[in-house]
Amino acid sequence: MNKTRQITEAGLFAALLTVLIIGTFYIPVIGNVLALFLPTPVIILTMKNKPLYVIMAAAASIIISGIAITFISSMALGGIALVVGLPMGLAMKKKSSNLMTLLVGSVGAAISFFVVFSILEWLTGITMIGMVEDSFKISMELQTSINSAADGLGVNTAGSLDDVQEMFDQMIYLMKLIMPALVLILSFFYSAANQIFSIQLMKRMNIDHIALGNFDEFRYPKHLAYGGLGMMVLAYLLSYLGYVDSKLIIANFTYLFMMIFSVQGVSLIYYYMKKRSGKALGVIVIVILLLFGFLQYIAYLGFFDVMVDLRKKDKKPKAQ
């Protein structure tokens, strides 16, 4: 009876994953949201079932959806769902810490993205950088059309097109420079989104799991700060010795440092703002700080908080 139930669950989740894959391919805009949460059904099924049935369900979804779309697309989307969702589900099932689950999912996502981009480049010759460049070219062509229309109306746009072109060139150069770190950060947030959403579903399905806790209580273990500091020192050392391109490695490590520790920096700011002014004002202040380019300083604040735990002192009970 138990085996029959597991097979039935696997079949239902296979059908759900098939619908998500097809929807991702065909539905505009909403398809992007569906693509974001493809691993979630795999995570839930892994929590309730054996890994073998999970793999079989994902394989069935890939085959069925491949009939409706293309087999390459179904392989890519179903592969990402499985490679990210199965390790995360197993980590949650073993009651690993949420941070460890996130790390496992991020590694799986990075591997799957790399494989998908490599296969896409091999089959079509289109690279991720190429897609970014094409999007900038479309924006540049649109800007040229707008300037031409403005010139026809007698509006002077001299020099503005050159400025826009220079800005686009700098942005493309920056994207090329930090692409490895960008993929890692994308993997991190992709896994985090699925972890948060799947835990919300587990609550409603009464599946035993480790709760996420409040965001204002979020903090990294202290050894991550030591690792981050060592990462930056290593980057400068390798570039100084000439083993790697100095701009490439420093840009990537700096970007990783900022994005990782800014999460704790935002958590710290939210903690104090929530305590003194309420949640709404805390969110508004954080958004304003991010929009005005304070991400770097927030990351430094987060790094410092990992080292000394500023909230720990604030939570100490006052002597009576």
Q: What is the pTM of this model?
A: 0.77
Tens-digit pLDDT profile for the chain (320 aa)? 477 777 787 888 888 889 999 988 888 878 888 888 999 999 999 998 888 889 999 999 999 998 888 888 888 888 999 999 999 999 999 988 888 899 899 988 888 888 887 877 777 666 666 666 666 566 666 656 666 655 555 555 555 556 656 666 666 666 666 777 788 888 989 999 999 999 999 888 888 888 887 888 888 888 878 877 777 777 777 666 666 666 777 777 888 888 888 999 999 999 988 888 888 888 888 899 888 888 889 999 999 998 888 887 666 555 44
Measured CA to CA, the distance from residue 38 to residue 116 in angstroms comes to 15
pLDDT of the residue at 320: 44
Q: Which amino acid is at 44?
A: I
Cα separation, 310 vs 282, in Å, equals 18
d(C-alpha 164, C-alpha 158), whole Å: 11
Pick the CATH number of 1-127+179-212 from 1.10.8, 3.40.1350, 1.10.1740, 1.10.1760: 1.10.1760
Structure tokens at 219: 């903090």
Residue carrying structure tokens 């400068």: 236
* Residues 62, 23 contacting (CB under 8 angstroms): no
Q: Please tell me the predicted confidence (pLDDT) of residue 215.
A: 82
For position 298, what pLDDT does the model report?
92
Of the CA atoms within 13 Å of residue 309, those in its CB half-sphere come to: 11
Per-residue pLDDT, 193: 92
The answer to whether the CB of 91 falls within 8 A of the CB of 100 is yes
Domain ranges of the chain: 1-127+179-212, 131-173, 214-320
Which pLDDT value is given to residue 25? 85
